[in-house]
Amino acid sequence: MKKYTIVVCDHIHEAGLKMLENDENINFIMAADEPKDKLVTEIIPQADVAITRSSTDVDEFFISHAKNMKAIVRAGVGVDNVDIPGCSKEGIIVMNVPTANTIAAVELTMAHMLSCMRMFPYSHNHLKQERIWKREKWYGYELKGKKLGVIGFGNIGSRVAKRAASFEMDIIAYDPYIHPSKVTDLDMTYTKNFEDILACDIITIHTPKNKETVGIIGEAEIAKMKDGVVLINCARGDLYNEEALYNGLKSGKVRFAGIDVFGKEPATNHPLLDLDNIVVSPHLGANTYESQYNIGTQAAENAIQAAKGIAFAHAMNLPIDETKIPSFVKPFLEMGQKIGFLASQLNKSQIISIKVSGQGEIAEYVDSLSTFVAVGAMSQNSGDTINYVNAEFVAKEKGIEITSEALADSSTFKNLITVKLTTAEGISTISATIFDDGVKRIVAFDGFDIEVALKGNMIFFKNSDVPGVIGSIGSTLAKHNVNIADFSLARNDKGQALAVILVDDHVDDETLKELGALEACLSVDYARL
């Protein structure tokens, strides 16, 4: 009977190691204490599967020695230290363990919330370190009756809300990618207006880290908050703009903050540590014995199944043999994912259905295309938890219908894919192709025939077809020092026009607001690819 070699590169819970030792089909190598050079050059070449954590970088050097490797299991959520594209190129599947530390992160959030409201670390140090008994110095606040704003109502955010409700707090949740009933069924308030969150007494954030969420709370948002607000972040670094948070705490606008994560870690010299109205911890979201047990055992189970070829749970990249598909297919799969990601940015709301159509030779692979499109569309909300293996399951869980169809060949394009994304707010339809120059291009958008490269910072400006609009757009962008890289125009038979503008730099909300205020504007949307 064939034995499979699994190498454990970093320390995991003993229970996970026992699972590997006790499987008669597994040759288990514990290499957590080996020098990294020896690990990579002498041990990794033997491995069918490797289990890693943050101490081992899966980089070009590592990958070049992983000649027999089927999969890498990252024992935890984050995969920042794994070169996923490099692994994909060599056919190595990258998996993580995204739900093992859920309860640990939830309870740490509550610990930070209580510490902020009652200043426990400070009163503790005052008594224990300084030996001063001064009760009148440590008046705090109760959670009961306070309004808690929860940004992101997923696996962790929803559980924080449930626990906060047991403290008799009033919960308001903001998450444009879920059905409101997920909140309202718990007798909590769902809002689509971010301003409602900014009016809360306490705000906690539980979103993936992506282009939409980085800096979601900055100077402008803090300025709109009530005086004495309390801010919590046990999710990802940089979701709060750290300079804005520092200024808010320094001025007293933010009365207290509880922070477990930082933009750059370790954060031993961070300016926030100099303040006396912040509770901090060194990224302890997964640091419970129960969580480590779950991470270790789930990582071991996933590694065993991957080694045997049974399943690739929570795969982060494409589990296909590229030698068995025509070379032209993969760029279309990648383009499909980009279109899904684009459509979800332009139509920010709960996804109801995703329909993918293919014309030409690519139509034969439309089912695979639909998976890629779904991963792109759902990644805005699902972050690390969405992948090519579980996309269909996640969609079903969220009530999203995914369909695909092969159509007759296009009379205009050799290959064409069309994505129709339906959300609670509307429908976006995007058609795209790849020309002989290899550039991915949109060729139709919501009824407009338009040709524009699928890349970079993109403004979609729909307007009444009247004179002077182009000049007004250019003047507005110039006013905000936004440089135009490309400007594509289209018209329809309804007296409307569409401009898709590629710009060199990020476009802020103020600029978009001014564009939207132009007299002829019907809608303006912005996306970053």
Which residues are catalytic, by number? 236, 265, 283
Q: In the sheet where 521-528 sits, what is the strand order? A: 484-491, 496-503, 457-464, 521-528
Identify the residue whose tokens are 């996923």: 84
Residue 245 vs residues 16, 174, 230, 251, 327: alpha-carbon distances, Å: 40, 20, 11, 10, 48
Tokens at 397, concatenated: 């869980």
* Distance separating alpha carbons of residues 312 and 96, to the nearest angstrom: 10
Question: And the tokens for 20?
Answer: 């590997």
Taking alpha carbons only, the member of 21, 18, 25, 17 closest to residue 305 is: 25
d(Cα 513, Cα 529) in Å, to the nearest integer? Answer: 21
Distance CA 407, CA 73 (A): 39
Q: DSSP class of residue 483?
A: P
Q: CA separation (Å) from 357 to 406, 415, 424?
A: 6, 11, 21
d(CA 35, CA 19): 24
DSSP H/E element including 173: strand 170-174
DSSP state of 465: S
Q: How far apart are CA 332 and CA 418, in angstroms?
A: 11
Kind of pairing, strands 351-360 and 415-423? Answer: antiparallel
Q: At 303, give phi and psi (nearest 5°).
A: -65, -40
Within 10 Å of residue 136's Cβ, how many Cβ atoms?
5
* Token duo for residue 423: 């959300």
d(CA 333, CA 329): 6
Task: Give the DSSP letter of residue 429.
Answer: E
Asked if residue 413 lies in contact with residue 397, where contact means CB atoms within 8 angstroms, the answer is no
